[in-house]
Amino acid sequence: MRKLTFLLACLILVGVGLVNAQSRSITGNVFSADDGQPVIGATVMVKGTTIGTITDTDGKFKINVPANAKNLLISFVGMKTVDVVAVNNISIKLESDSKQMDEVVVVATPFGIKKQKNEIGYAATTITNKFITQANATNVQQALNGKVSGVNVTTTNSGVFENAKINIRGIRSLTGNNQPMLVVDGSPVNLGYLSSIPPDDIDDITVLKSAASAAVYGPDAVNGVIMVTTKKGSGTDKLKVTLSSSLQVTKVAFFPKYQKEFGAGAGETLDKWGNYLYVPYENQQYGPRFDGSTQQIGLVLSDGSSQSGPYTNAHYSDKVKFWNSGSTFQNSISLSGKDFFFSLSNADIKGVMPNDKNQRTALRFNAGKTYGKFSINYNIDYTHQDWDVVNESALPSLFASSSSYNGSVFFAVMQTASNVPLLQYKDWQNNKFAQYSNYQNDFGLSPYWIVGNLRQKGTQHDIIGNVNATYKFANWLQLDAKLSSNMSFQSWKNTTAPIVVSDWAHANRNPTQYTSTLGKVLDGMYQYQRINFDYYLSGEKKITDDFGIKYLAGGTMRRNEAKDIELGGSNLVVPYLYNISVRSGDASVSSSSNNNFVQLANANITSSSLGAYATLGFNYKKWAFVELTGRNDWDSRLMASNRSFFYPGANASLVVSDALPSIKNEEQGLSFLKLRGSVTKSGNVNFNPYALSATYSPSSGFPYGSNAGFTANATIPNKDLKPEFVTTTEAGFEVGFFNNRVNFESTYFFQKCTNQILSVSQSDATGYPYALANAADFNNYGVEMDLNLNPLVKIGRGRISLKLNATYNNNKVTRTLNNTTVVIGGTDNFAASGLQQSGSSPTVSNVAIVGQPAFMFQMTDYARDPQGHVIVNKTTGYPSESSSTVTLGRTLPLWVLGFTPTYSIDNFSFSMTWDFKGGHYFYAGMGSDEDFAGISARSAEYGRNRFVFPNSVYDSGEKNSDGSIKYVANTNILVKDGNAGFWTGGTTNTQIATNYFASAAAWRLREVNITYTLPAKLIHQVKGLERVTVSAVGKNLLLFVPKSNQWGDPEFNYSSTGNTSGISSSFQTPASRYFGGTLTVQF
């Protein structure tokens, strides 16, 4: 940050007379009170004159002052201005000023026109590099989490890619994209790229929460913008070198609650009293209670050998130890010269999943040069990732008959009985009992075998480059043109090892799993490029001393091109040789269905858009600002007659404390007050190219020789689709007290979202189960608040400061097509994508219903009496499934709170981030599978004995006076079978979604971090050394959830991009804790 502000300081000084005659010379040093480091680029002015200079890279300055000069004013952006007596050899300490820090500029055009924050009529938050690196985040999503009001980051997995889902101010599209736009150094880039930017390269991140920014950024900005500015040249001749090294360790945590009392068995064998006996090869754990006796594990093998061990839960801990300590080892070096910045970084990531790894190397070069009126800036960055991970998506199609449920590695681990020494099966190649044919479980695979044999190796190259040329015709007019391009090349190969089953296993074991299959491969390549050409004329002019205007008019052209190739074979004949050409029978060529929100397979995809926009701003005395905006877009994805759409906007801000200086009382009262407001409309085309026609796909099996066969795909689109429109109204204020030690900022926003493009379920009898149409409207509204107490208290030299942020966000559906319930997604989609497939798992959907929030859960429930008691059968004691589904609970949080207290003293700082999300619910998709497998704590709630279904009633056989059925409370009818009979029964248990539904409220200690900067005295003993910082961090340390949540971290979601929320499954790695440390050395 300091380097950038140094440049700014230089600019500010343009027009300031630098030298004066008749003077004396004064030298001095400027230090930061925070860390004792020299402040580079601080402005030193002679009070009451225009004479000034700036400090050099060592924080030193030399200034010639008039003989009569009395005082010097030393100022620096983000620090409090100091007024000192002008004496020679002066040493000045600057204290940081949090309020001013926020007043830095935000980038408000695609090309980096900067604006003072005061000018902006909508909410924007800037996070500096210091804040990012202090948190020791391995990626930017993590850095944003809990720090900015209105920003909700959801982790989807703790794998080596660390995907996260980011929503700013909730949602604006029911089924389309709700993820913010990412702009890196002025180039629009896919959001997924965010995780591959090395945090050390980042100068600052600005989050524009408002849709108002869409006026210049175009439709993609309707969900807010995350603007990342990478470091530029330092502006000084001295070459600065920074080395940084960090290590982060990941440990699994927050498992669902499991039972630890019962072993394998599913009622295949019973004792004479009907109790379930132990079955040594079962996956379901409905066997007898652990009793310490010695029991056989698995079958007696063909050579007569077998395993046995104590029948206890001694090996429960194997299920935790199965997971590795994941690690992220990140090293970077950066060089920063006068007009360039170069960095090279490498991250070596090992997952908690055994054998999963990812390596990321990134290179960045930013530079610029000015020749008179012409200046040019260019940057290029290149990121390369190489990964090798387990490919769990191959599990559902592993066997010819998918009636075996293997779920995922997580599930395979968890459904291992607690008397089974899981860790001993690590060597699946050589250990006799770990080999495929001999594994102890007849219905569940060894997780080690899965990890060793289902793999994905992939590599990805991303190149982003842009050139920005500026010609300044005059002070009041300049032309900017920018060509930017980003390209991504991805290539991956999924391999599934052949299964070779021994003759013994073939003859003696369950054929579902003990059937030989050939090796499989899927080889894919994806190439994407986006080219943007942007140009605009802009300038500003002072009409009078107090009144000025700013103007800008420009256009943008964009072309997106992508190509995808996916070829595979499930019939590879040379064992362990994974090449499509080495096979018997046909190759498989993935074909595209027409889900309009999913990437097409084996396809060439092109889309283009044009935009033209203009803004006109007025300012008065630097305390009143009004800006009018307008933009028209043309989008190729729409029908020619609908393709053009216009959206206007306006925003205004008023710095009341400057307009009415009398209300100010810097020390004891109000020091700053700003009011702001905006109204903006924006349009967005929320579907893929080629979505306007119904399509046909080749059917599986076909072609047979020359016989081709096609089938109609599932969606019929309305050819006349229009863009989705969002009208955002927001109003807010920013206020500071006591010399800005207390800052508060709040914004109310209301977004009217119309013309929602939805894939609406319709009757199969229409021929198309889905129709694509402008089918709904909804309102999204809320309040966001940030409170900053800096410092809260000072204890001696120590300071405690506190940042609080809170967001209340709600929404309401106001219209749906034909007033019907719109199903957005849910477990049906699971089944289709092979994510969840055990026999009788519940139906759970996210739905939009008029008058309700988007989204609500709709799910299966028990049949209940009018009072809500579960009705049980009078003879069996079993409940039954209701014929209709219930609508319960919202999917998105109503409240998101963040607390970041910081304690700092001298060179040491300690901070924590706590956050809370609440008011929403989640469905634990793994719950029914865990009950089916008998591993959940729930399934052992009654000790596997018969029990009275709690809070139940039964039909007395009599009628009430009004003719309705008379239900009586059930106090004595026990369920017929309190073991597998009840717990694995679909209508009695596993098919009832409400059994796996809980509040998603959670308090979380998201982050603790400790930073220490070595004292300057110490490090200056080493020549050239400028700064040494060490820090330690712990993340996701504590989690507090309500008792009703038995399934662990509610934040995990099975999908990272879709709008379906709050549906977790066992198809993910367990949630994790992170611990790490960083060493940064600067020369």
Interacting residues with other proteins between 578 and 617 (CB under 8 A) = 584-586, 588, 591-592, 594, 600, 602-610, 612
Residues 446-475 that bind other proteins (CB under 8 A): 473-474
CA–CA distances in Å: residue 977 to residues 572, 878, 931, 981, 995: 47, 9, 15, 5, 18
Whether the CB-CB separation of 570 and 584 falls below 8 Å is answered with no
* Cβ-based neighbours of 1075, under 8 Å, separated by 6 or more: 248, 249, 251, 1032, 1033, 1034, 1035
Q: Minimal distance in Å, beta carbon 592 to other proteins?
A: 6
Residue with smaller CB distance to other proteins, 707 or 1021: 707
d(CA 123, CA 959): 62
Residues 935-994 that bind other proteins (CB under 8 A): 976, 980-981, 984-988, 991
817 DSSP assignment: G
Residue with smaller CB distance to other proteins, 791 or 978: 978
Residue with smaller CB distance to other proteins, 489 or 690: 690
Residue with smaller CB distance to other proteins, 174 or 252: 174
Task: Give 158: exposed, middle or buried? Use CB within 10 Å, 0-12, 13-18, 19+.
Answer: buried
Per CB under 8 A, the list member of 463, 525, 659, 692 interacting with other proteins is 692
Residue with smaller CB distance to other proteins, 609 or 1011: 609
Residue with smaller CB distance to other proteins, 206 or 829: 829
* Cβ-based neighbours of 705, under 8 Å, separated by 6 or more: none
d(CA 216, CA 613): 7
Residues 841-870 that bind other proteins (CB under 8 A): 843, 845, 860
Among residues 1021, 870, 847, the alpha carbon closest in space to that of 950 is found at 870
Residues 986-1045 that bind other proteins (CB under 8 A): 986-988, 991
Q: How many residues belong to the chain? A: 1083
Residue with smaller CB distance to other proteins, 180 or 218: 218
Stretch that binds other proteins, among 62-70, 431-439, 759-767, 1004-1012 (CB under 8 A): 759-767
Residues 810-839 that bind other proteins (CB under 8 A): 818, 820-821, 823, 837, 839
720 binds other proteins, rule: CB under 8 A: no
190 binds other proteins, rule: CB under 8 A: no
Q: Tokens 């440990």 appear where?
A: 251
Residue with smaller CB distance to other proteins, 875 or 961: 875
Q: Where are the alpha helices (DSSP H) in 520-679?
A: 656-659
Whether the CB-CB separation of 716 and 768 falls below 8 Å is answered with yes
477 binds other proteins, rule: CB under 8 A: yes
Residue with smaller CB distance to other proteins, 506 or 794: 506
721 DSSP assignment: -
Q: What single letter denotes the amino acid at residue 719?
A: K
Per CB under 8 A, the list member of 697, 810, 1046, 1057 interacting with other proteins is 697
Whether the CB-CB separation of 1078 and 246 falls below 8 Å is answered with yes
142 DSSP assignment: H
Residue with smaller CB distance to other proteins, 509 or 799: 509
702 binds other proteins, rule: CB under 8 A: yes
Q: What single letter denotes the amino acid at residue 1037?
A: L
Residue with smaller CB distance to other proteins, 669 or 703: 703
Q: Minimal distance in Å, beta carbon 770 to other proteins?
A: 9
Q: Kindly tell me the sign of the dihedral angle through the C-alpha atoms of 1062, 1065, 1069, 1073.
A: positive
- Give 730-746 as a DSSP string: EEEEEEEETTTTEEEEE
630 binds other proteins, rule: CB under 8 A: no
Q: What angle do CA 58, 63, 65 make, to 5 degrees?
A: 160
d(CA 1078, CA 145): 19
637 binds other proteins, rule: CB under 8 A: yes
Whether the CB-CB separation of 396 and 273 falls below 8 Å is answered with no
Residues 140-159 that bind other proteins (CB under 8 A): none
Residue with smaller CB distance to other proteins, 635 or 1026: 635
726 binds other proteins, rule: CB under 8 A: no
Residue with smaller CB distance to other proteins, 600 or 1081: 600
Per CB under 8 A, the list member of 269, 665, 945, 960 interacting with other proteins is 269
d(CA 1055, CA 375): 45
CA–CA distances in Å: residue 203 to residues 2, 80, 304, 516, 613: 9, 21, 67, 56, 28
Q: Minimal distance in Å, beta carbon 297 to other proteins?
A: 18
Give the tokens for residue 596: 């309009």
769 binds other proteins, rule: CB under 8 A: yes
Can you say how many angstroms the Cα of residue 600 is from the centroid of all Cα atoms in its chain?
Answer: 23
Per CB under 8 A, the list member of 239, 589, 660, 708 interacting with other proteins is 708
Peptide bond into 703 cis (omega under 30): yes
Q: Minimal distance in Å, beta carbon 584 to other proteins?
A: 6
Residue with smaller CB distance to other proteins, 331 or 820: 820
Show the binding pattern over residues 287-326: x = contacts other proteins (CB under 8 A), - = does not: ----------------------------------------
Whether the CB-CB separation of 610 and 532 falls below 8 Å is answered with no
d(CA 280, CA 301): 13
Can you say how many angstroms the Cα of residue 599 is from the centroid of all Cα atoms in its chain?
Answer: 19
Can you say how many angstroms the Cα of residue 288 is from the centroid of all Cα atoms in its chain?
Answer: 43
List, in sequence order, every beta strand (DSSP E) within 497-586.
Answer: 519-542, 547-572
d(CA 694, CA 300): 57
d(CA 379, CA 368): 8
Q: Minimal distance in Å, beta carbon 1017 to other proteins?
A: 56
Residues 867-926 that bind other proteins (CB under 8 A): 876, 878, 880-881, 883-885
Stretch that binds other proteins, among 423-431, 630-638, 903-911, 1035-1043 (CB under 8 A): 630-638
Give the tokens for residue 193: 């790229």
Residue with smaller CB distance to other proteins, 418 or 609: 609
Q: Minimal distance in Å, beta carbon 486 to other proteins?
A: 19
643 binds other proteins, rule: CB under 8 A: yes
716 binds other proteins, rule: CB under 8 A: yes
Stretch that binds other proteins, among 310-318, 708-716, 906-914, 1063-1071 (CB under 8 A): 708-716
Q: What single letter denotes the amino acid at residue 405?
A: Y
641 binds other proteins, rule: CB under 8 A: no
d(CA 891, CA 185): 34
Q: Minimal distance in Å, beta carbon 926 to other proteins?
A: 19
Q: Minimal distance in Å, beta carbon 830 to other proteins?
A: 14
- Give 307-345 as a DSSP string: EEEESSSTTTTHHHHTS--EEEEEEEEEEE-SSEEEEEE
Q: Minimal distance in Å, beta carbon 609 to other proteins?
A: 8
Residues 497-526 that bind other proteins (CB under 8 A): 501, 506-512, 515-518
Show the binding pattern over residues 393-432: x = contacts other proteins (CB under 8 A), - = does not: -------xxxxx----------------------------
Per CB under 8 A, the list member of 186, 288, 689, 853 interacting with other proteins is 689
Residue with smaller CB distance to other proteins, 33 or 849: 849
Size of the site for other proteins (CB under 8 A): 120
Q: Minimal distance in Å, beta carbon 827 to other proteins?
A: 10
Residue with smaller CB distance to other proteins, 692 or 1025: 692
Whether the CB-CB separation of 218 and 686 falls below 8 Å is answered with no
Give the tokens for residue 137: 């985040």
d(CA 642, CA 889): 37
Q: Minimal distance in Å, beta carbon 531 to other proteins?
A: 12
Residue with smaller CB distance to other proteins, 461 or 472: 472
